[in-house]
Homo-oligomer: A and B are copies of this chain.
């Protein structure tokens, strides 16, 4: 076994216990006499599994009964368009809060379907700070307010849920879902690609307040309509059954390891360890994000001399520290510290960083 520490931003490291269980039962799942991949999504066994998975997630995240839980395909990017088509009428306005690459993209993809208003915009900071809540220009007539609680590329995270009054708050939680307790009732809709904290890529989680399902009035194919997916319990068409199953294993893994409060404590400690190493390096390493906006999940950092980047990455790989190369938009490094990354992985990274600095200081 030569598995090592994998800091990939997504698809990302999954809990080894989850992978081991999936491996054990890959050819024969429960008493199906077949792989879980090979059975009908509408059969009793799989339907019982999805009910179990939903119940596990509802317990884990304390999801109120008046929220629907959907497991769809297409990633968060498909939702950028679909949420506008479903939550707004043509010509209606929606408020977008720009805090990094992903919130920008969410606004751009929604633009053909809703009048996008920039309610707040942190571009002037090069996305090193969050737009202060006091400066947001919210429109009480907006269909919804959209924001991105954690920006995977720029490494910003909202420390609190913004208060937006009675307009439904819609959040792309792709890179921080289930990393801490979630106050679902504060949101109109939460959505997340699975490939960071939930499971493999190819699955998207939606948690949507039931009354919002009635909003979609424009003509559209049923496959675009949240209400249709809800009526069909996410089986309007054949779902990604293996991804759904792996999400279920991951929810059980989270519960076994203490639930969301325990995840939050572990994630806090991991992030504190890494930021302390960066800040304590005397400028050898640098994270440009203002401290209270720093992401616990994605930590971009830069060496004082970019000419050392290639050597850093090669040394890290040799030390078993994988996928630390930063996003091409920013360069430098990025360490993603999702639930599946244990403290030992971060300790190993910090030890390597310190050793590298001694060798190149």
Contacts and interface: CB of A to CB of B under 8 A. Distances in A.
Interface of A: 1-4, 6, 8-14, 16, 19-20, 22-23, 26-28, 33-35, 37-41, 43, 73-78, 80-81, 108-110, 112-113, 193, 195, 200-203, 219-224, 236-243, 246, 320, 322-323
Nearest to A246: B37
Contacts of A6: 33-34, 38-39
A41 B10 CA distance: 8
Contact of A202 (B1, B81, B203, B221): B203
A12 B38 contact: yes
A197 to B, nearest CB: 13
A35 B14 contact: yes
B202 A34 contact: no
16 contacts: A1-B27, A6-B33, A11-B238, A11-B241, A14-B38, A19-B35, A19-B37, A20-B27, A33-B322, A41-B201, A73-B73, A73-B75, A77-B236, A77-B237, A110-B221, A112-B221
B27 A201 contact: no
Chain A interface, >50% SS class: loop
A322 B4 CA distance: 40
B238 A10 contact: yes
A172 to B, nearest CB: 12
Contacts of A73: 73-75, 78, 202, 240
Nearest to A6: B34
Contact of A242 (B9, B221, B237, B242): B242
Given A3-B34, A6-B33, A8-B38, 17 more contacts: A3-B33, A4-B34, A6-B34, A9-B40, A11-B41, A12-B38, A16-B27, A19-B37, A20-B27, A22-B26, A112-B221, A113-B221, A200-B240, A201-B240, A201-B242, A202-B240, A202-B241
Contacts of A236: 77
